[in-house]
Every structure is written in structure tokens, then in C-alpha cells.
Amino acid sequence: MNTEEPLSMIVNHINVMGSFAFAISGALVALRNKLDPFGVLIVAFLTAVGGGTIRDMLIADRDVFWLFDTNIIYAILAGALTAMIFRSKLQFFQKPIFFYDAIGLGLFTITGVQIGIDYELNAFICVLLGTVTGVFGGVLRDVIVNEIPVVFQKEIYATASIFGGALYLLLIYLKIPNPYLQVIPIICIIATRIIAVTYNISLPNIYKNEQ
């Protein structure tokens, strides 16, 4: 008897956890910019569903994931309320916004890659969908609060997502079972992002020789 949890259920759980983490990230950015509670909810919502919505719109015959899954909405509301109510308690991380953003990046990247696989897309496109899913919620968040999106700066952000997506495909090729198949690349993405920020590791600055 196969005791492995069905892959679709694992992906759904990852979607909910990713939505919660990204909602906290978005809400904390909104609170930092002194938005009112409605503004906090909007930014949390866009951060949580932005990347996945763009991904689903790119796939012609796919429904937008959060329209038919109320658990996603509940997770976003829970994340936003957690950030608003326990804002001071979340400061035990040196950079709490970055921490929750890294978790969301790891979780959503893998769901994006898996959806590409489900639609039998090219491996490169699967990794691209994973990156879109992982990073574009943060892009929308930063644009809304009038900041330059992290992905467009020299920080290792999209690079971590690409690395994790490629690793996920490799683990599938190696026939690694669930849930290790998902857990390993998710942890690698989160760890890569944390290490890069902690030790100030970044991509080369192409403008360093300009005045």
C-alpha cells in the first residue's frame, strides 16, 4: 500500500503555507510604510497571489488558483492579521520582512515548477514558471509601496528561485520520493536567500566603474 501523500495535496498545502508567509511579508512592508488596515490587507493579498495569478494567466486553460480555493483567502487573512496584531513579536528576526519573503519564495517556486510539469511543459519553461510564481508577488508589493523591487536589484533573489526550481527537476529525475522531493529544494531556496543576505553576497555590480 502506498503511504505517500498524493502530490496534488502536497502542492495545495504548500500553496496555503506560501500564501500565509507571503501575506505576512506584504503586510509588514505595508505597516512599515504606515498604510491603513485596508491598505495592509491589499498589499498582503497582492504579495501572496500576484506571482501565482500571473503564472495561471500565462497558461491558457488553467483557472486562477485562488478563485476556487477559499483556504488561500483564509491563509492570506490570517497572515495579514498576524502581522498587524503581533507586529512587535515578529521582530525577533533581524530582518523579519526578508525572512518571511524567503519562506514564500521557496514554497511558491516549487508549486510553479510542478504546475509546469503537470502541463507537460519544457523544463526551462517549468523553471521560468516557478520563478514567476516565486518572485512576482514581491514585485507587485514593492511597486505598490513605491520601492524598487528586490528582483531588479543585485540581491540574490530570482537566482535562488531558479536554482531551487532546477534542483527540483533534478530530484524528480533521480526519483526522490515525496515529501523529500519538495522539502529539499524549498530548504535550499530559503537557505540560499538567508545566507546571501546574512553575508551580503550579491550579483556583480555592472555600474561599479561608472561615476
Residue 155 DSSP one-character state: B
* Tens digit of each residue's pLDDT (9 = 90 or more) over 133-158: 999 999 999 999 999 998 888 789 99
With CA atoms as reference, report the closest residue to 26 among 171, 141, 164. 141
pLDDT, tens digit, 9 for 90 and up, residues 90-110: 765 557 788 899 999 999 999
| pLDDT tens sequence across 18-38 | 999 999 999 999 999 999 999
**Domain hosting residue 179, numbered range:** 7-198
Summarised one tens digit per residue, pLDDT across range 160-200 is 999 999 999 999 999 999 889 999 999 999 999 999 988 88
Give the span between the Cα atoms of 136 and 67, in whole angstroms: 18
105 neighbors 190 (Cβ within 8 angstroms): yes
Residue 4 has pLDDT above 60, yes or no: no
Residue 208 lies in a domain: no
91 in any annotated domain: yes
Q: Tell me the C-alpha distance between 186 and 32, whole Å.
A: 27
CB atoms within 10 A of CB 154: 13
Of the candidates 141, 27, 46, 34, the one whose C-alpha atom is nearest the C-alpha of residue 84 is 27
In a domain, 205, yes or no: no
Kindly state whether residue 87 falls inside one of the protein's structural domains: yes
Does residue 155 lie in a domain region? yes
Banded model confidence at residue 1, pLDDT cuts 50, 70, 90:
very low
Can you tell me whether residue 202 is helix, strand or coil?
A: strand
The chain-wide mean pLDDT, for the chain, equals 90
Q: Say if 207 falls within a structural domain.
A: no
pLDDT tens readout for residues 27-73: 999 999 999 999 999 999 999 999 999 999 999 889 999 999 999 99
pLDDT at 3 (0 to 100): 41
Determine, yes or no, domain membership for 203: no
Cα(128)–Cα(55) distance, integer angstroms: 9
pTM for the structure as a whole: 0.90
The answer to whether position 1 is within a domain reads no
Phi and psi at residue 122, in whole multiples of 5°? -60, 150
* Bridge partners (DSSP) listed for residue 202: 155
What pLDDT is recorded for position 9?
85
Domains: count for the chain? 1
Helix axes 180-198, 158-173, angle to 10 degrees: 150
